[in-house]
Each structure stands twice: as C-alpha cells, then as structure tokens.
Amino acid sequence: MHKALLLITVCFLFNMAGAQSPALSRKERTTRERILINEGWKFMRYTGAPDNLSYDVRPEVTDRNDNVVADTKPTESIKVAEDNNVLKPWILPVANEFIKDPAKHHQRPPGHPGGRSLFVQNNFNDQDWESVTLPHDWAIKGPFYKEANAIVGGGMGRLPIQGVAWYRRKLTITAADEHKSIYLDIDGAMSYAIVWLNGHLVGGWPYGYNSFRLDLTPYVKPDGDNQLAIRLDNPLNSSRWYPGGGIYRNIWLTKVNKVHVAQWGTFITSRDVSASAATVDLGVSIENKSTTDQRIEVITDVYRMDDQLNRTGNKIATFPSSLSIVPGGQKIKTEKSVSIKDPVLWGPPPAQKPNLYVAVTRLLSNGTVIDEYETRFGIRSLQFDPLKGLLVNGEPVRFQGVNQHHDLGALGAAFNTRAAERQLEMLREMGCNSIRLAHNPPAPELLDLTDRMGFLVIDEIFDSWERKKTPLDFHLIFPDWHEPDIRAFMRRDRNHPSVIAWSFGNEVGEQYTAEAGAAWAKKLHAIVREEDSTRPATASMNYAKPDMPFPKEMDILNLNYQGEGIRDAPAYAHLRGIRTSPLYPAFQKQFPDKLIVSSETASALSTRGTYIFPVFNGISAPVSDSTGGDPKQQYVSAYELYTAAFGASADKVFASQDKHPYVAGEFVWSGWDYLGEPTPYYSARSSYSGIIDLAGFKKDRFYLYQSRWRPDLPMAHILPHWTWPERNGAITPVHVFSSGDEAELFLNNKSLGRKKRGAYEYRFRWDSVVYQPGELRVVTYKNGKKWAADKVRTAGNAARLQLSADRSNIQADGKDLSFITVRVVDNKGLLAPRAGNNIQFELSGPGEIVATDNGNPADLVAFPSKERKAFNGLALVIVRAKAGTAGAITITARSGGLVSGQVIVKSR
C-alpha cells in the first residue's frame, strides 16, 4: 500500500474586527477599530539625486542586460563591504516577532536616523506633491522606455519602476485613543519600506510582497495630528518581471486595547472530518502590551456565512471558554476544541461548494468585552496520494491550474478586487480550478476571492535564496529575512481554505549546489512545518533530478517542465541550456510515496489573433525569427504550437500527463499575460505566455484548455480567422479545438473530411486547406452524436465600432470597475480580425477612464492614454465610477472613417 500524506484542516479568509462593546471607561471605549487609510496621501518620487538614506549598501551593477532565458543558472551573490551609514540596524528588530530563537533577536540602536529629514517633519509643506489614493503603483502610468538600451528593459516591463519615493499623510489620534495600542498594517509596499511617525523612525520591511505591522504607539501624539512618512526604494535590476512601485496594496490603522488578539493571532484546524461531524481546534494568541498581569476570558462562537460573506442565522457552536493570566508585556496562547455536527464542507466547484464559516472571538476582562476578532474559515479534508493524486473531502480533484503573477495588466501592481475577480472568473470559465501564486505572497484580498470562489491555491514565497537571478534581487536580504518573511507570510495566510500547499522557493540556484543547497531546503522546510504542519511544503524544481539531494527535502514534488522534458524534442536539439528527458517515471520510482505535480508546464507563446505561415507540422517547437515568430512586429503565431526555449506546447504536455496518470495535474505557465519577461522579444513590454492576453481577451489556446478541462461542455473552436485576401489559392492550415472526439470541416459547404481524434492527440488538423474566401464551418461529434459546431467567415472592411461592458452596473465607491470591450466590425457585424484602427475614447458622467489596452505585448503606448490602436480587431477601456456619485456613465469610442460606438454603465 502506498503511503498518502493526509491533511485535514480548517482555514480562515482574513481577520477582521470592529464591533462596538460596552464601555470599560472613558479611556477604553471600543474593542477594536480597523480603519482603512488609503485616502489623503501626498506622493513624491525623486527625479534627481535621492536623499542620503538607505536600507543597506548594494553591490555595483555592471551588467544590466535582462534578456536572459528564464531557466538560466542562478549565480553566487557578490559580497559588499559593511557601511555604518545605513538604516538596517533600526529595521531588523521589526523581524524579532518572527524569529524563533531569542538569542538571534536584533537589538535596536539608540536614536532615530532620518529624523531631521524635511519629509518626516510635521510642518513640511507637501502641497506641491502629487495627491494619490492607495493602492498606488507609481510606475504603471509610464511612459514606457522605448530605446534599445533602456534603463528599465523588457524584463521589468519597460516602465519607470526605479527610484526612491516618499508618501506622507496626517493621522488624527484622539484623546480616547491615549491608552490604546495603535498599529500601522501595510499589506504590501514595493520595496524597502521605512516608516517614520512624528520624526521618529518606527521600522520597516524590505521584502516588497509581504504584509507587515509596525507599532506606532510609542511615537503617537494623543489628541492631535500625527505626521506619517513612508520611504520606498525600488532598485533597478531587482526582479525578473514587473514588480510595480509604491504602496500598491491597502494600509490600515488598527486601534486595540492593551490586551488584544495578536497580529494574525488565530489558527483553526480540524480533524475527523466527515459529513456527519468535524472536530475543530482553535488556537488564539493573546498579547498584553500593558505592564501588569491581566486575567482574561476567551469566548469564541461559530456562525455560517452566505455567498456574500455575511453571517447567517444563530451561532451553531461555541468553543469552551478559557480563563488565563496574561503576564504584562508578554503573549500566551489558548487552545480549545469543539465538535460541529453535519458540517458544510469547503471544496472546489463544480462537484463541491466553497462553504464558509466565521469564528467570532471575544476577550473579556472582569466580564467586559475588550477585544473582538473575526476569523472566516472553511472545513475540508485533503489527502495527497502518490497514485490517486489530490483528494478533497475524499473526492479526487485533478489540478487544472495556472500560474499567476501579481500585476493586473494595465492597472499594474496596484491591487483592485474587481480586476482580480475578473481574472479568476475567466479562468474558471476555461475550467481552471487551481492557482499557483508565482512567485510571491499575494494581496490578502486575492485569497479572500479564491476562498469564496473555490480555487485551490499553492501559496509561494521566494524566487531566489542566497544565489541571485538578477543583480539586486531578494538574495541581498535573504540571510537576514528568510525566517521572518516565511513566518509572517504563513501566519497571514495559513488558514485560508483555498491554500492547500506551501512553496518556499521557485527554481532556486541552490538546486545546483548539491548537499549545501539541500541543507538550505531542509532548513526552510523546517520553518514552514513549524508554522503549519497540516499542509505539505515544497519548492519547485526545474533542475534538481531524482538522484540529487534537493528533492528529498520536499513533501510533494513540484516539477517545472521536467515532466514533459526540457529541450528534448528534435525541434529543440540546437538550443543551449538545461536538457532533460521526461522525468515523471524517474521521480515516481525514486519517491514512490510522494505526490507529483507539474507546478509549471508549457510556457507556450503567442499573440492573440496573429497567424504566421508556414505552420510547423509537429506538435511543439521553440519560437524563432524563422519559425512561428515575426521579429519586426514582435508577434508569435497563434497556432499555439510555439514555445519558449525550455517550454512545450499544450499538446505535448497533455500527452505526457496522460501517459503518466499518477501525476496529480498541472499549473500552466501562465494563465494571463503579465508585465515584463517578454520572451522572445525583449523590446516588448509584456509576456507572450498567457492563455489570456494582458487586456483579458482569450487567445485560441483558451479553447484548447477548455476542451480538456471541461470535457462535458459542448464546444468547438476554429482557427485561424478566415480573412486572408493575400492568400487566395495558398495553403492555410485549419485547426479545431473541441471536447468532441470527431470533427468534420466544411469550406463553403464542401466537406474537407471527417477526422477522429487519435490517442494522445488534442486537436483536429487540416493542414492542406487551400484558402478561398467564404465560410469555414466545423461540426464535431462525441460518441457518434453531434456535439458542437463553430464557424468563421471572411469579413469585409472595417465599418464601425461595437462596445460592450462586462458589467453595466457598478458601485460608486471609487474602486469598482467596468471592463469595456471595443470590437471593430464590418457592415454585417463580423469582427474585422486584422483591424488596427486608431480609436479615441471619451467619457461623460460620474466616472473616469483609468486605462486602455489591446493585448499587444509590443504596444508601448502608455496605459492611461485615451487613444489606442485596436489589435486584431479588439481594444479595451477600463472605467471606474467616482466615489459617492451615482448616475449614468457614457463611454464613446471614435475612429476616423468608422461609425462610432457607445455604451452606458450605471454607477450606484
């Protein structure tokens, strides 16, 4: 019998509190306030020489080339001399909360460096600075760097991410808060964040993707204005993709009584989960910031939640109360259990439902509530079986996953819940049920969405450890921050029901260093297991082989590209780099008790709606300037056969997985195009690897994955389009993606043959079709019966613009968005599939145009532009309603020689 890794746990979405409670005294009136402070900020980014402050000394960068193949071997770090004129000694003590060994805690030096800077002073006049609302990405508005040797190249998105910037805001603290603990909670700031309050250096956090908390209490002036100043420093050559710049996630001010539930202070797990009962275990960490011991009672009630995350009905369970003495200046942890009868389980659709609960924890002192803390969670069991794969609540679920970077296309890194929800909705339509967060902690709200929508998530941290991939990446701070970063990341996320595994590294250079690298893997793995022993911990491997020491330290085996083989097919024989035969069997033989999953597959490349001839006659080939690529236009053919140098087509991946059914599934690189890393054309701005382009338009590959991942959905999709006036009489291959098993193609009602899909074939191909204008139509069959059909027609000249909104009603909250598609059509309403008309956008009413896009990776028009060329007949305009103003927002698109188009979006 094969040993399976069994996981049963219960998880929370995010922690939130704020209910009013009976007054304790004039000094302690409320339990907890969590105040969003995203508005009212002043912002300045240096255009000249920055200030004399720095987190630490950095090595000099002599090679700024970022056109590097993604699986290039990482290199050793460069040592730099220590410098006493840095702020690191004052920042490191913030990490102590997340360093287990007290002997390794950092001692803060005396003083407040930077306190004389003009920007931290209360009386500094910042009226000439830019007014911004958070989340804010200073780089996304551009302009793009277009020159060949740009200071920021294609790897980091050709946008001005670099530099030092300051954010300033006043905080009003009342006399009622005098005896509270007051914290600043930053969900993400890129990067090297350092915070001052009233001229005092509070602390900071260098890793730009983690959430962190700073204690403002010692520096607060009660009953008056308090000046908050935040300095960020974003280095060049610090990332392999677009990182964004700025305070790009939410910021909160948290006010609590001196005794309170600690930061990320609840952890809920469960055991003995069945349809009839589940035992739920709750740990609560209580912090006492006062100087005296406190006698505290802890009571936690459990409620169901509806689809809108509201409590429903009466409480369904109550944990036994606990009574504890919490020593002054210390923390304690209480642990209790409760049995929940007939639990509604959390699981991924469509077979299961993502049911959720909320636990409401109250701290009482002398019978009076002094803190209240909410924990959303779900009950589910997971089993990782080496042969059966993943079982959720006892039911097998195959990973039909994608990798997602953190940017939101034309919106940049500034997180927006609706934009992220739109991405997930489209992925779910394709049949995707799993997300790997590449390669960093996400915004907290993203995991709220995956919990509510039922996605399975591999939560990941670190693209590098000690060895570097870019000159100034995370390796510079890894020695000091790997432990606190892991623990903070996990304590924030560890109870989300959607998170089913941890990844603590992606393709790290330590794969190459034998026992030394494995020792680092073992050390990091131990930290992960200390924080959460209920989920498997792993790191993704693109180089480590079964006989190497590195994979031994993993609970499950996350393979990047190695399952289907790297540069192993004849079309890839001329390429240099990692060369690996398909290794599923070798890993399975070496580790028969470990589940295997492909954490990155494919890395196929294409530009939507672009078809380049001739077409490769095999199933997978690396793109080149002569095969599938157009270096002049920077296009890659959308026949979906072409890949990165280390990649493989979807067809090749599917065949490899089907030949090895013990593999638990895949995470495709990538779900959406993302900013930066524009393989193969580094003079472009964004990637080519997405199944969906940067604007949110589906590539043909979308339907190839849908045909596999939704086999019960009747669907068929023809490519290419059929408007080729210059190809009359020329061979123009036709491919069809369908969930059916047979297909018949018709050109102008003449059958071109009926084909049955063979073993390990995933598309229907008619590679000898001679083009003639008219109608191309396919009828597909399944088990001998008609299943689905599709057709494409030759379009006429572009005649008018058609606008449609993804949502015609949005909230007037200054955050909600409507994504409006513009189609260039002929006079019969057919999409003009090669149209590139220049389009001007206008808006009237209580809204604003946030950005425009068209999905073309080579388009270097700045995203805020209200003028955009269509790309292969499509363009996008993103509209936001103004806060507090309801009404009709009219969006008009105009283009010379075309009938204009219009759509109305209502804000409420």
Q: What is the pLDDT of residues 310-353, one digit of tens each?
A: 899 899 999 999 999 999 999 999 999 999 999 999 999 999 99
Q: How confident is the model at residue 18 (pLDDT cuts 50, 70, 90)?
A: very low
Residue 436 half-sphere exposure, CB side, CA atoms within 13 Å? Answer: 30
Mean pLDDT for the stretch of residues 593-601: 98
The tokens of 4 are what?
């399976």
The tokens of 839 are what?
């389009």
φ and ψ of 120, to 5 deg: -95, -5
pLDDT at 78: 64
Mean pLDDT for the stretch of residues 583-608: 98
Mean pLDDT for the stretch of residues 231-254: 97
Mean pLDDT for the stretch of residues 828-842: 98
pLDDT at 77: 64
Dihedral sign (CA 519, 524, 525, 526): positive
Q: Are 475 and 465 in contact (CB under 8 A)?
A: yes
Does residue 24 register a pLDDT over 90? no
pLDDT at 22: 31
CA distance 460 to 510: 17
Decide: helix, strand or coil at residue 56. coil
Does residue 68 register a pLDDT over 80? no
Q: Are 410 and 142 in contact (CB under 8 A)?
A: no
Q: Of 28, 483, 507, 677, which residue is the catalytic one?
A: 507
Does residue 6 register a pLDDT over 70? no
CA distance 222 to 236: 40
pLDDT at 5: 43
Does residue 891 register a pLDDT over 70? yes
Mean pLDDT for the stretch of residues 181-205: 98
Confirm whether 507 is a catalytic residue: yes
Does residue 20 register a pLDDT over 70? no
pLDDT at 412: 98
Mean pLDDT for the stretch of residues 434-444: 98
Confirm whether 147 is a catalytic residue: no
Mean pLDDT for the stretch of residues 76-89: 70
Q: What percent of the chain lies above the pLDDT cut of 90?
A: 91
CA distance 161 to 166: 14
pLDDT at 297: 97
Does residue 619 register a pLDDT over 80? yes
CA distance 126 to 108: 30
Q: How confident is the model at residue 3 (pLDDT cuts 50, 70, 90)?
A: very low
Dihedral sign (CA 539, 540, 542, 547): positive
CA distance 349 to 346: 10
Q: Of 600, 640, 666, 742, which residue is the catalytic one?
A: 600
Residues 6+ apart with CB under 8 A from 682: 66, 67, 153, 154, 155
Q: How confident is the model at residue 80 (pLDDT cuts 50, 70, 90)?
A: low
CA distance 560 to 829: 43
Residue 21: C-alpha distances to residues 24, 288, 368 (Å): 9, 19, 8
φ and ψ of 656, to 5 deg: -65, -40
Q: Model's pTM, two decimal places?
A: 0.95
Residue 591: C-alpha distances to residues 2, 383, 617, 889 (Å): 11, 17, 37, 59
- The partner residues of 636 in beta bridges, in order of sequence, read 629
pLDDT at 47: 72
- pLDDT tens digits for 386-403? 999 999 999 999 999 999
CA distance 115 to 112: 6
Question: Which of 219-228, 451-460, 663-672 has the lowest average pLDDT?
Answer: 219-228
pLDDT at 236: 95
pLDDT at 307: 80
pLDDT at 10: 44
pLDDT at 60: 84
Does residue 84 register a pLDDT over 70? no
What DSSP letter does each residue of 389-442 carry, written as one string?
EEEETTEE--EEEEEE-S--GGGTTS--HHHHHHHHHHHHHHT--EEEE-SS--
Stretch (H or E) spanning 627: none
Mean pLDDT for the stretch of residues 299-306: 96
Q: How wide is the angle at C-alpha 270 spanned by C-alphas 266 and 271, nearest 5°?
A: 155
Does residue 83 register a pLDDT over 80? no
CA distance 902 to 808: 12
